[in-house]
């Protein structure tokens, strides 16, 4: 026998001990479930590149939400899909009082008053240019976009949103939105800022889901360069100072170091967005029989928590909840 004073395997010798010493845990309430809504009735359309994820009309979404809330999921992030015919340069549909997205928020809140509803603040689903900001001569205008985001935010707050998620990456928008909300009496509406949002290939399936891909160019003049880390600190610092309640890193898996960095530097909750492409990757491999989808899913979610995220926006929310609930 070799004389070893440290045998780490002792802490792995039984299921009980392994559980006892487990450092990071996943809870169903860690998840925010992103969901897609479209206009119409009795619609449930599977997103091709996201098996198991659908675009629902409101009636079917309300049905689905029964299942979602029964699983113990406490929060959703709702994204609208608009037809090309409703889009314009200034995303006017986004703050039109009678638009189906805003009416849906109110209807969901009525039926599920306890459910936390997060909304997306950005122009892209409503923009004929498919960009998150206002386009002029091929350029994305920062300050003119803020005004539109302010209108959109106020409309979503009025509709009943609990948390607004500015995902546009314009400078100064958190402060602008905060002030606009406060001025109109919505001091209780929270902001979860997409603080470090990278220009990523992993948003592909989401843009399929919403038919929201940019009509020209790319998003590199507002979303961050995947090579940069210090810049994430600056973005987070600004959002913190401007009044964000929570900071988000997006995507999650290629940016675990950024999650950790923000968690170590800020005293507000850090969220991570396990994005559409990260979901699609695991689904595709699992459907091919190339890996165990359930195990890969749980491992990935745990890694995001371990890196320091308090909550995780994930399309896996339902499936992971089923496993966690046993
Ligand atoms: N403002 C748009 C927005 N909000 C959330 C996502 C991506 C989410 C995902 O891939 O799951 C995107 C796409 C983009 O920036 O092009
Ligand atoms: Mg910023």
Residue 195 near ligand 1, beta carbon < 6 Å: no
d(CA 197, CA 75): 21
Residue 5: inside a domain: no
Task: Residue 161: give its domain's CATH number.
Answer: 3.20.20.70
17 within some domain: no
Domain membership flag for residue 18? no
CA 6 from centre of chain: 43
Residue closest via CA to ligand 1's atom 14 equals 203
Report residue 73's pLDDT band, with 50, 70 and 90 as the boundaries.
very high
> CA-to-CA distance for 200 and 281, rounded, in angstroms?
14
Residue 31 pLDDT: 98
pLDDT at 271 over 90: yes
Residue-wise pLDDT for 277-309, tens only, equals: 999 999 999 999 999 999 999 999 999 999 999
Model pLDDT, residue 105: 98
Please report whether residue 303 resides in a domain. yes
Give the pLDDT mean for 247-270.
98
pLDDT band at 212 (very low <50, low <70, confident <90, very high): confident
For the Cβ of 77 lying below 6 angstroms from any atom of ligand 1, the answer is no
Closest ligand 1 atom, residue 120 Cα: 4
- Has 197 been annotated as catalytic? yes
Asked if residue 251 has a cis previous peptide bond (ω within 30° of 0), the answer is yes
Helix (H) or strand (E) holding 320: helix 317-325
Interatomic CA distance for residues 174 and 157, integer angstroms? 14
Distance of alpha carbon 194 from alpha carbon 57, whole angstroms: 26
- For residue 83, the model assigns a pLDDT of 96
Say how far apart CA 324 and CA 321 lie, in whole Å.
Answer: 5
List Cβ neighbours of 48 (8 Å cut-off, separation of 6 or more): 208
Task: Examine residue 10 and state whether it is found in any structural domain, yes or no.
Answer: no
Q: Is residue 19 part of a domain?
A: no
* Known catalytic membership, residue 318: no
Q: How far is CA 34 from CA 130, 143, 233, in A?
A: 20, 28, 26
Whether the predicted pLDDT of 140 surpasses 90: yes
Mean pLDDT to the nearest integer, 230-258: 98
pTM over 0.95: yes
Radius of gyration of the chain from its Cα atoms, rounded to whole angstroms: 20
Reply yes or no on whether the pLDDT at 238 is more than 90. Answer: yes
Q: What are the pLDDT digits (tens) for 162-205?
A: 999 999 999 999 999 999 999 999 999 999 999 999 999 999 99
Query: Over pLDDT 70: what percentage of the chain?
Result: 100
Domain enclosing residue 242, as ranges:
25-324
What are 306's two structure tokens? 């371990």
The per-residue pLDDT for 177 is 98
Q: Give the count of domains, the chain.
A: 1
Q: Work out the pLDDT band at 226, boundaries 50, 70, 90.
A: very high
Place of tokens 């995780």: 312
Mean pLDDT, the chain, rounded, equals: 97
pLDDT of 97 reads 87
User: Positive or negative, the Cα torsion across 137, 143, 148, 153?
Assistant: positive
Q: Which helix (H) or strand (E) holds 148?
A: helix 142-159
In a domain, 76, yes or no: yes
- The per-residue pLDDT for 211 is 86
The one catalytic residue in 87, 250, 283, 318 is 250
Q: Tell me the backbone φ, ψ of residue 19, rounded to 5 degrees.
A: -70, -40
Share of the chain above pLDDT 90, in %: 98
* Structural domain contains residue 20: no
Our answer on whether the CB atom of 239 is closer than 6 Å to any ligand 1 atom is no
Ligand 1 mutation target, pool 37, 82, 118, 122, most atoms within 8 A of CB: 122
pLDDT at 144: 97
Q: Could you give the CA distance from residue 151 to residue 317 in angstroms, rounded to a whole number? A: 30
């Amino acid at each position: 026998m070799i004389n070893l004073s440290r045998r780490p395997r002792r802490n792995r010798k039984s299921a009980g001990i392994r559980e006892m010493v487990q450092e990071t845990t996943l809870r169903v309430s860690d998840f925010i479930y992103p969901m897609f809504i479209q206009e119409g009735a009795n619609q449930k359309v599977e997103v091709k590149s996201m098996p198991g994820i659908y675009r629902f009309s409101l009636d079917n979404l309300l049905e689905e939400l029964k299942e979602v809330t029964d699983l113990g999921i406490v929060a959703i992030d709702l994204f609208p899909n608009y037809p090309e015919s409703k889009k314009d340069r200034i995303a006017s549909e986004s703050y039109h009082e009678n638009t189906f997205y805003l009416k849906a928020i109110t209807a969901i809140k009525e039926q599920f008053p306890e459910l936390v509803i997060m909304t997306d603040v950005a122009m892209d689903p409503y923009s004929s240019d498919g960009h998150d900001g206002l386009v002029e001569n091929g350029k994305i205008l920062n300050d003119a976009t803020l005004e539109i985001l302010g209108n959109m935010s106020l409309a979503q707050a009025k509709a009943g949103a609990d948390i607004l998620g500015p995902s546009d990456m314009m400078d100064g928008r958190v402060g602008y939105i905060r002030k606009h909300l406060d001025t109109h009496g919505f001091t209780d509406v929270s902001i979860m800022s997409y603080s470090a949002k990278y220009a990523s290939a992993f948003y592909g399936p989401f843009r399929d889901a919403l038919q929201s891909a940019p009509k020209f160019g790319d998003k590199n003049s507002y979303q961050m360069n995947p090579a940069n880390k210090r810049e994430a600190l600056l973005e987070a610092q600004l959002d913190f100072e401007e009044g964000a309640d929570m900071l988000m890193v997006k995507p999650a898996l290629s940016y675990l170091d950024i999650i950790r960095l923000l968690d170590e530097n800020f005293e507000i909750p850090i969220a991570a967005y396990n994005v559409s492409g990260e979901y699609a990757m695991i689904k595709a491999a699992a459907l091919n029989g190339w890996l165990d989808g359930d195990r890969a899913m749980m491992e990935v979610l745990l890694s995001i928590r371990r890196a320091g995220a308090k909550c995780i926006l994930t399309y896996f929310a339902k499936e992971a909840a089923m496993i966690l609930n046993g």
